[in-house]
Amino acid sequence: AQQNCQVANIQVMPNFNRTLYAGTWYAVAKKDPEGLFLIDNVVAHFQIEEDGTMTATASGRVIILNNWEMCAQMLATFEETLDPAKFRMKYWGVANYLQSGNDDHWVIATDYDNYAVHYSCRVVDADGTCLDGYSFIFSRHPTGLRAEDQATVTQMKADICMLGKYRRVPHTGFC
Ligand code: ODT
């Protein structure tokens, strides 16, 4: 495990297989970026298009304009890079008042059937560490991670230098 927290040294999923990754993932924990957007009830659906590219939809509870709580419907396309587990995610909302942007989207680790650890650094600091980033822990199961996956996921949180910075993402049926 790397411990110097250089973004450039972060290890991602070897031989990432987007076809196995496709389908529904429930966020169970999140490390927020500055200016948090998706709060809870976050579910993502990845699909592989006929041309082989990966796209996704996601929904989650957000609060916009100070006090307006709603279920955001989001869309994303993924641009490949030289590393199959590292994408650029272009995202936007179904409604134009939702966030849009272009973030790194790295798959750190997944067993495809139970858990996935996602990482995105938005701003790399002058020393090479991440100044502003976010990460989702995903489960295939709406009830959360299996007990046998928890140690693996904790190790991954440490490897990406975000251990202790996560909060639970409840699923209450809001979205
Ligand atoms: O919630 C935040 O604070 C930052 C996240 C903003 C980007 C959300 C865009 C979602 C677009 C549709 C996405 C699909 C899949 C996403 C999987 C993980 C990362 C968002």
The Å distance, Cα 79 to ligand 1 centre, comes to 15
The Å distance, Cα 104 to ligand 1 centre, comes to 10
Answer whether 91 contacts ligand 1 (Cβ < 6 A): yes
* Whether complex ipTM tops 0.90: yes
In sequence order, what are the beta bridge partners of 60? 72
Answer whether 21 contacts ligand 1 (Cβ < 6 A): no
Q: Is the pLDDT of residue 2 over 60?
A: no
CB 145 within 8 A of CB 153: yes
The Å distance, Cα 95 to ligand 1 centre, comes to 15
Answer whether 58 contacts ligand 1 (Cβ < 6 A): yes
Average pLDDT over the chain reads 96
pLDDT digits (tens, 9 = 90+) for 39-83: 999 999 999 999 999 999 999 999 998 789 999 999 999 999 999
